[in-house]
């Protein structure tokens, strides 16, 4: 039904964009990608650089990945490349490995319907099986946004455009291919991708593309939490996290990923805390520094964890145990929406529970704390709290900043005001003889 409606609505005409117009040169494409393209062409198959790589190169950005689309079936690709592995159930893909690095090669997709086992959709229209092969033009029509449906031909140097993607890149427009409501039903994650591309690439979402979103948010409830975790990282680790948060909330999408965070953002201090953290994350990414998902989740879930920890403290639990109780309650709820791997939840737990150790400034405990493997992450989190007056003063953050820079004598001098009196050891009474 989608394919018939879409085909009637838009009979795309192929536009070939010459190298002098699009500006992409072979030197911008990694050698391994060029080798795969040439070998596929030599074997008699069509093969093109496709999607985000073409888009990014036209926008003068460095592509993260170089994906390839080809007329060759997955099994044919595997016969050509000894290091090839086939993956995927919903849609079969070929991964060609070069050590730990691999290139993804996908066969052109064709019109999708429920007429055979190779293409199946659920009752709500979501694609659950998609091994339907077609031509390069049909593949372009099956892609999500026009800016992601461009094909670069290494042999001719031309960009093939079936859907007006080049025009949309030039006008800064994000537009879905086909009927927006149907395309969102096929894959609800496209709503999140629309926000990500709009923020990351500074694009305006075209009216018919944005109109259905708010009324279709509930479709994300049927998406696997593991997939939503991956999408969350792409959204908030793209270098435009602060703007992404605003856009997600504008379209009511954020609560599908972080419901307890959305509940807390009405609090001005917590809202400032989250925005400050996201701005810092953006700066780190733009500077080429590493970021960890654990810190992102530590920030997003902090208010809820602290609320439950305070309740446990009021019941008489020790500080460390109270934070572990709070963390368990909140993480149990969060993984129902985004399946955070244990290696990250473990680090988040440590960041939260270590906040209480910043109150101890006697030398023995302060120096011991500096050696903790999670000290730096906990310290960054502590100073982030100080920047918005979240129960921590800027003077307290500064003390720990200065303490790290001191030599041994300087550390002793800084600790002197906090040196407690030693308890006198009680003499053991001699037993009566």
What are the residue numbers of the active site? 65, 67, 144
| Cα–Cα distance measured from residue 130 to residue 421, given in angstroms and rounded to the nearest whole number | 72
Residue given tokens 């496209």 in the structure block:
190
CA–CA distance, 320 with 313 (Å, rounded to integer): 10
**Rounded Cα–Cα distance for residues 397 and 30 (Å):** 45
Q: How many CA atoms lie within 13 A of 119 on its CB side?
A: 15
SS3 121: strand
Question: Residues 6 or more apart from 401 whose CB is under 8 A from it?
Answer: 383
Q: How many CB atoms lie within 10 A of CB 76?
A: 16
Whole-number Å distance between alpha carbons of 247 and 401? 35
Using alpha carbons only, give the angle 7, 8, 11 rounded to the nearest 5 degrees.
Answer: 65
Tell the residue number behind the tokens 């953006």, with chain if given.
282
Pairwise CA distance, residues 49 & 394, whole Å:
51
């Amino acid at each position: 039904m989608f394919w018939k409606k879409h085909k009637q609505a838009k009979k795309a005409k192929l536009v070939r964009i010459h190298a002098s117009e699009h500006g992409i040169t072979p030197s911008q494409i990694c050698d391994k990608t060029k080798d795969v393209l040439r070998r596929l062409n030599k074997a008699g198959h069509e093969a093109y650089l496709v999607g985000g790589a073409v888009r990014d190169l036209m926008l003068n950005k460095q592509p993260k990945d170089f994906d390839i689309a080809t007329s060759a079936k997955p099994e044919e690709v595997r016969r050509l490349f000894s290091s090839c592995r086939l993956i995927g159930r919903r849609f079969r893909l070929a991964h060609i490995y070069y050590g730990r690095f691999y290139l993804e090669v996908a066969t052109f997709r064709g019109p999708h319907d429920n007429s055979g086992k190779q293409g199946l959709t659920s009752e709500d229209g979501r694609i659950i099986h998609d091994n339907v092969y077609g031509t390069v033009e049909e593949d372009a029509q099956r892609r999500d946004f026009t800016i992601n449906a461009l094909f670069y031909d290494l042999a001719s140097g031309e960009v093939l455009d079936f859907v007006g993607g080049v025009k949309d890149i030039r006008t800064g427009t994000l537009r879905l291919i086909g009927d927006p409501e149907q395309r969102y039903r096929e894959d609800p994650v496209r709503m999140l991708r629309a926000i990500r591309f709009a923020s990351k690439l500074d694009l305006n979402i075209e009216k018919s593309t944005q109109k259905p979103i708010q009324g279709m948010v509930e479709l994300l409830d049927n998406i696997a939490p593991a997939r939503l975790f991956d999408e969350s990282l792409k959204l908030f680790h793209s270098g435009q996290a602060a703007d992404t948060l605003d856009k997600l909330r504008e379209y009511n999408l954020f609560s599908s990923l972080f419901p307890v965070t959305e509940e807390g953002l009405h609090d001005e201090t917590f809202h400032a805390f989250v925005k400050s953290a996201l701005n810092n994350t953006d700066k780190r990414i733009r500077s080429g520094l590493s970021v960890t998902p654990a810190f992102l989740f530590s920030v997003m879930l902090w208010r809820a964890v602290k609320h439950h920890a305070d309740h446990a403290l009021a019941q008489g639990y020790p500080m460390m145990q109270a934070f572990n109780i709070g963390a368990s309650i909140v993480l149990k709820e969060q993984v129902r929406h985004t399946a955070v791997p244990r290696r990250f939840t473990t680090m988040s737990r440590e960041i939260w529970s270590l906040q209480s150790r910043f109150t101890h400034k006697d030398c023995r405990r302060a120096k011991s704390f500096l050696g903790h493997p999670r000290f730096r992450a906990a310290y960054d989190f502590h100073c982030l709290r100080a920047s918005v007056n979240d129960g921590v003063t800027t003077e307290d953050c500064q003390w720990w900043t200065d303490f790290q820079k001191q030599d041994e004598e300087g550390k002793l001098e800084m600790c002197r005001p906090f040196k407690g009196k030693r308890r006198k050891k009680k003499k053991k009474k001699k037993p009566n003889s």
